[in-house]
Amino acid sequence: MKTRMHATLTRGLIVALAVMLLLPAAAAAKTITLSYANFPPAPTFPCVQMERWKTEVEKRTNGQVQVKTYPGGTLLGAKEMMDGVIAGQADIGNLCMAYQPGRFIVTNATSLPLDIPDARVGSLVLWDLYQKYQPAAFGQVKVLTMFTTAPANIMSKKAVRSLGDIKGLDLRASGGAAQILKAWGANQVGMPMSATPEALQKGVVQGLFSSLEVMKDLKFAETCKYVTMTDTVIYPFAVVMNMERWKALPADVQKVMDELALEQAEWTGNYMDGHVKNAMQWSVKTHKVEVIELDAPTKVEWSGRLQFITDQWITDAKAKGFPSREIVEDIQRLTKKHNP
């Protein structure tokens, strides 16, 4: 009797011990793998920030989360990003909001000619704006971070020094920047950045309007020998996650990602600003690119042509039910806040 009880106790102890030993192992073994889709090629800034986010998340979750990245449109293309993530074709996706101007009305307002000076300020303004308005356009996803480019300038095969030079020139731009090019008299051609290298090569366009880091990252300095400085508008980006996948994450993993959101926005802005400088030094030195600065009267003439854009946007967005004037005033106030 005594021995049988002893045996049962010993067996119970062994089972308990085994459970205690195996449980943490089982938990540790349960890694979560997330796919992360991006549309442009790997050397471009949206993919550089993606790799940085991956590294930080894997480190801060002690390897519990593994992120598999898909640059270059290998999982989802530029315009499929939002719907692809909503449908779960990718767990996470990075999108350029300007490629769907009618869809992201509130956040795309950062693309109005409102003189946001650089990508760091742009990214912080955008994040604050998103937090304040929580636009319905993002209601079906979890937003992991947002950031912007540095201001856009003209990269072209021929020199653009005046409104006469830009008149009728085939230049690629998308989103709000399209209106800007038209206002200057260019022939605006719309396409995502991922389609631009081929369009330039085939002569479909004679240049583009965007932030200047692509002179190096996409080797545009090989064909575009002129850069006209206009420092006009930034482009907003968002990194979004499938809502069900987000809800299924353990709370401590969600905390890591939430804590990274603002930090990642600022990191990307700083990276972009520094990289634009590098890219231009490289372009001038290696490819003898000429940087054209417009003189003061010309600058006034060029920016005068853009004045109607913000007013028009305020009227149009108001008609769609958005508090458009307040949004513009918020962008101006936040720009001052982050660029005192």
Q: How far is the CB of 180 from ligand DTR (least distance, A)?
A: 12
Q: Which stretch binds ligand DTR (CB under 6 A): 48-56, 108-116, 208-216, 239-247?
A: 208-216
Assess 44 for contact with ligand DTR (CB under 6 A).
yes
Dist CA 271 CA 48 (whole Å): 9
Q: Which stretch binds ligand DTR (CB under 6 A): 39-47, 181-189, 251-259, 320-328?
A: 39-47
> Exactly one of 214, 221, 260, 317 binds ligand DTR (CB under 6 A); which one?
214
Q: Which stretch binds ligand DTR (CB under 6 A): 2-10, 42-50, 79-87, 109-117?
A: 42-50
Strand partners, 240: 93, 143
DSSP state of 113: S
Task: Tell me the three state secondary structure of residue 13.
Answer: helix
Task: Tell me the three state secondary structure of residue 208.
Answer: strand
Assess 211 for contact with ligand DTR (CB under 6 A).
yes
| Residues near 215 by beta carbon (within 8 Å), at least 6 away in sequence | 155, 221, 224, 227, 279, 280, 282, 283, 289
71 or 135: whose CB is closer to ligand DTR?
A: 71
234 touches 110 (CB < 8 A): yes
Q: How far is the CB of 174 from ligand DTR (least distance, A)?
A: 6
Dist CA 228 CA 201 (whole Å): 20
> Exactly one of 64, 210, 242, 268 binds ligand DTR (CB under 6 A); which one?
210
Task: Write down how long the chain is.
Answer: 340
Dist CA 70 CA 101 (whole Å): 24
Assess 38 for contact with ligand DTR (CB under 6 A).
no
181 or 214: whose CB is closer to ligand DTR?
A: 214
Q: How far is the CB of 196 from ligand DTR (least distance, A)?
A: 7
195 or 284: whose CB is closer to ligand DTR?
A: 195
Assess 268 for contact with ligand DTR (CB under 6 A).
no
> Exactly one of 127, 235, 271, 313 binds ligand DTR (CB under 6 A); which one?
235
Q: Which stretch binds ligand DTR (CB under 6 A): 40-48, 69-77, 278-286, 319-327?
A: 40-48
64 or 194: whose CB is closer to ligand DTR?
A: 194
| Cα-trace Rg, the chain | 25
122 touches 237 (CB < 8 A): no
Q: Which stretch binds ligand DTR (CB under 6 A): 23-31, 38-46, 162-170, 315-323?
A: 38-46
Q: Based on the number of CB atoms within 10 Å of its own CB, is 4 exposed (0-12), middle (13-18) or buried (19 or more)?
A: exposed
Assess 40 for contact with ligand DTR (CB under 6 A).
yes
Which conformational region is residue 97 in: left (phi greater than 0), alpha (psi within -120 to 50 degrees), or beta? alpha
> Exactly one of 61, 149, 242, 268 binds ligand DTR (CB under 6 A); which one?
149
Assess 174 for contact with ligand DTR (CB under 6 A).
yes
Q: How far is the CB of 203 from ligand DTR (least distance, A)?
A: 19
Q: How far is the CB of 46 from ligand DTR (least distance, A)?
A: 5
Distance of CA 194 to the CA centre of its chain: 14
Q: Calculate the alpha carbon distances from 28 to 23, 35, 67, 221 in Å.
A: 9, 20, 16, 48
Q: Which of residues 176-195 bind ligand DTR (CB under 6 A)?
A: 193
DSSP H helical ranges for 188-250 = 196-202, 214-217, 243-247
Enumerate binding residues for ligand DTR (CB under 6 A). 40, 44-46, 96, 149, 152, 174, 193, 210-211, 214, 235
